[in-house]
Amino acid sequence: MNQQPVKGDGGSGPASSDGRFAKEEVQTKEAIRALYELYSNDIYRYARMTLCDSGDAYDVVQEVFVRALRSWPAYRQDAQVKTWLMSIARNYMVDLLRKKRTERRYITAAELPDVGDPSTAMDVVMEIQDALHQLKDNYRQVVILRHIENLSLQETATILGWSQNRVRNATHRAVKKLQEILSSTTGEVNIKHDVRA
Binding site for another protein (CB under 8 A): 25, 29, 33, 36, 40-41, 44-45, 48-49, 58, 61-62, 65-66, 69-70, 113-117, 119-121, 124-125, 127-129, 143, 147-150, 175, 178-180, 182-183, 186
- Which of 15, 152, 134, 185 minimizes the C-alpha distance to 82? 152
CB of 131 to another protein, least distance (A): 9
Name the H helices within the chain.
18-51, 54-71, 81-100, 122-132, 137-143, 153-160, 164-196
CB of 75 to another protein, least distance (A): 16
Residue 48 or 90 having the CB closest to another protein: 48
CA–CA separation, 168 vs 145, rounded Å?
12
CB of 127 to another protein, least distance (A): 7
CA–CA separation, 103 vs 4, rounded Å?
38
Residue 79 or 175 having the CB closest to another protein: 175
DSSP assignment string, 137-178: HHHHHHHIIIIIS---HHHHHHHHT--HHHHHHHHHHHHHHH
Q: What angle, rounded to 10 degrees, do the helices at 81-100 and 153-160 form? A: 50
CB of 155 to another protein, least distance (A): 15
CB of 98 to another protein, least distance (A): 16
Residue 65 or 84 having the CB closest to another protein: 65
Residue 48 or 82 having the CB closest to another protein: 48
CB of 124 to another protein, least distance (A): 5
**3-class SS at 1?**
coil
Residue 107 or 125 having the CB closest to another protein: 125
CA–CA separation, 78 vs 17, rounded Å?
29
Residue 52 or 157 having the CB closest to another protein: 52
